[in-house]
């Protein structure tokens, strides 16, 4: 087991000490074992610990935060190790909950797509159309009418291709979506559920923000610091760098919350659930700024990566150098994205049915419930899980 602080940034370190698990014969030292210290696991750890439960949370990675983990690179620039994470939500409850553990830096995300030697706003808006076609559409109505002439009638909108073609037609689809999606998912948009490209709807306005949510902000001192604050509780023991399968789970905790891949928990009994993986090439450059916005997308199949992220735009950090990452989608590697398509959903349903039969384990999170969830949705799911758990417990206690 890990002996020393694995995770150290400015301020208070998280200390992971051995021996972690003190057992007295036959007794469970913890009420809950939580597998995965991302949003799902950490929110539940915090809620359960605050309600008096003793929690052991482990993560196979040597740090907390899951995919939202950020850290300083060798140059001292704060980067997101697993790609750009921008917090956005319409839920006041979720924003208020997270605000207990962090102050915020207001930030509205903007993305440009590199197309025909130009950088054009994404999602497609009136400025995009002007930049691409040189047409000046006076207002929203003019843009809507223009797009209507391009849109192709699609009787049933089922796939990620249908969604785009039915709104903006083939040319814009091919220019902005087809190549990017093929790279990102290793599938044609026609093979993916409509919900995937529907995340980036076309606009008739000139609003060039990527998200329109009520709350859009970055944790003022980074995501990892927010997780440190969340998990800083005497009832929580953290085991980073420890895989669930390595733990001696006998008499450890009567209940488990599993936020890793659900198919892995069941030893892939029905076959592996498909996930998409990523690889990042991180670089530091000797100049203050690399690109005009945090993220530039590269929809062309001629470019091997999908996007370049420059982190200082997200964090507001002042530094004479700047760090970026190139993002390459991969078939093999750590699971990052569940792949939304009907056959995968059907396979997941088999695992979900099996999960329902277990009394001592609950599955939560993006990998645990095989859902293409944003951070706020995972927080909402974890809070709802806690509420259900509390209600059941109260009932059992006759309250
Ligand atoms: P994770 O963060 O994946 O945490 C699960 C943890 O479980 C991992 O740390 C893993 O190591 C651990 N684990 C798995 N198996 C085991 C095991 N056997 N033993 C021990 N530990 C295990 N969302 C947004 O809202 N905004 C964004 O801008 C955004 N950008 C994203 C960009 C990228 C590149 C990616 C991949 C995702 C992005 N997301 C974004 C989504 C966001 O990352 C997720 O919603 C969120 O992090 C999911 O939290 P989680 O706890 O469910 O899963
Ligand atoms: N997408 C695209 N071109 C873009 C941006 C997005 O084709 O320039 C498609 C692509 O299939 C992508 C999906 O829309 O996977 C969702 O985009 P989002 O930015 O939400 O992806 P994430 O940040 O989750 O990777």
What is the per-residue pLDDT across 317-360, written as a single tens digit (0 to 9) for each? 999 999 999 999 999 999 999 999 999 999 999 999 999 999 99
To the nearest 5 percent, what fractions of the chain are helix, strand and coil?
A: 35, 20, 45
Nearest CA to ligand 2 atom 7: 177
Q: Which residues line ligand 1 (CB under 6 A)?
A: 35-41, 58-61, 66-68, 82-86, 243-245, 259-260, 278, 336, 365-367, 373-376, 378
Tell me the ipTM for this assembly. 0.99
Residues in a beta bridge with 327: 280, 307
Q: What counts of helices (H) and strands (E) characterise the chain?
A: 12, 17
**Which atom of ligand 1 is nearest to 36's Cα?**
7
Q: According to the model, what pLDDT value does residue 264 have?
A: 98
- Residue 308: band (very low, low, confident or very high) from pLDDT cuts 50, 70, 90: very high
What DSSP element (H or E) covers 44?
Answer: helix 39-50
Quick check: 11 pLDDT over 60?
A: no
pTM above 0.90, yes or no: yes
Question: Side by side, which strands form the sheet with 337-338?
Answer: 118-122, 111-115, 295-297, 307-310, 322-330, 275-285, 337-338
pLDDT tens readout for residues 263-301: 999 999 999 999 999 999 999 999 999 999 999 999 999
HSE toward the beta carbon, residue 121, CA cutoff 13 A: 22
pLDDT tens readout for residues 28-79: 999 999 999 999 999 999 999 999 999 999 999 999 999 999 999 999 999 9
Q: Domain segments of the chain: what residues?
A: 32-105+216-273+338-396, 111-199, 275-312+320-330
Q: Are 187 and 331 in contact (CB under 8 A)?
A: no
- When comparing pLDDT for 15 and 152, which is higher? 152
Averaged confidence pLDDT in the chain:
94
Ligand 2 centre distance from Cα of residue 184 (Å)? 8
Q: According to the model, what pLDDT value does residue 378 have?
A: 99
How many CB atoms within 10 Å of residue 289? 10
- When comparing pLDDT for 24 and 123, which is higher? 123
Strands 55-59 and 32-35, sheet pairing? parallel
In CATH terms, the fold of domain 32-105+216-273+338-396 is Rossmann fold (3.40.50)
Please tell me the least confidently modeled range out of 20-24, 74-78, 82-86. Answer: 20-24
Identify the residue whose tokens are 């990017």.
180
Q: According to the model, what pLDDT value does residue 398 have?
A: 84
Q: CA torsion, points 91, 92, 98, 102, in degrees to nearest 10?
A: 130
């Amino acid at each position: 087991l890990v002996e020393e602080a694995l995770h150290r940034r400015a301020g208070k370190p998280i200390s992971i000490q051995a021996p972690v698990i003190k057992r007295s014969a036959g007794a469970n030292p913890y009420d809950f074992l939580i597998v995965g210290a991302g949003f799902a696991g950490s929110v539940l750890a915090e809620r359960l610990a605050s309600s008096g439960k003793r929690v052991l949370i482990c993560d196979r990675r040597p740090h907390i935060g899951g995919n939202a983990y950020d850290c300083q690179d060798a140059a001292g620039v704060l980067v997101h190790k697993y790609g750009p994470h921008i917090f956005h939500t319409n839920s006041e409850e979720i924003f208020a909950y997270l605000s207990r553990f962090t102050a915020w830096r207001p930030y509205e995300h903007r993305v440009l797509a590199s197309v025909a030697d130009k950088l054009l706003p994404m999602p497609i808006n009136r400025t995009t159309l002007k930049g691409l076609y040189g047409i000046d559409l006076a207002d929203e109505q003019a843009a809507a009418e223009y797009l209507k002439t391009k849109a192709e009638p699609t009787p049933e909108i089922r796939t990620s291709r249908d969604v785009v073609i039915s709104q903006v037609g083939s040319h814009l689809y091919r220019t902005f979506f087809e190549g990017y999606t093929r790279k990102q998912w290793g599938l044609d948009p026609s093979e993916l559920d409509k919900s995937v490209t529907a995340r980036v709807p076309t606009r008739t306005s000139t609003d060039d923000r990527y998200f329109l949510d009520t709350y859009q902000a970055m944790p003022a001192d980074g995501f990892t610091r927010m997780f440190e604050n969340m998990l800083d509780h005497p009832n929580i023991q953290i085991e980073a760098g420890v895989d669930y399968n390595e733990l001696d789970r006998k008499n450890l905790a009567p209940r488990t919350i599993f936020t890793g891949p659900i198919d892995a928990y069941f030893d892939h009994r029905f076959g592996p659930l498909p996930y998409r993986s990523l690889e990042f090439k991180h670089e530091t450059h000797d100049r203050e700024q690399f690109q005009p916005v945090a993220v530039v997308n590269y929809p062309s199949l001629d470019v091997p990566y999908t996007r370049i992220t420059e982190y200082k735009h997200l964090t507001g950090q002042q530094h004479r150098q700047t760090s970026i990452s190139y993002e390459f989608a991969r078939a093999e590697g750590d699971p990052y994205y569940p792949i939304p398509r009907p056959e995968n959903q059907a396979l997941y349903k088999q695992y979900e049915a099996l999960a329902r039969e277990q009394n001592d384990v609950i599955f939560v999170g993006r990998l645990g419930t095989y859902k293409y969830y944003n951070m706020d949705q995972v927080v909402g799911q974890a809070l709802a899980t806690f509420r259900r758990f509390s209600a059941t417990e109260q009932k059992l206690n006759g309250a």
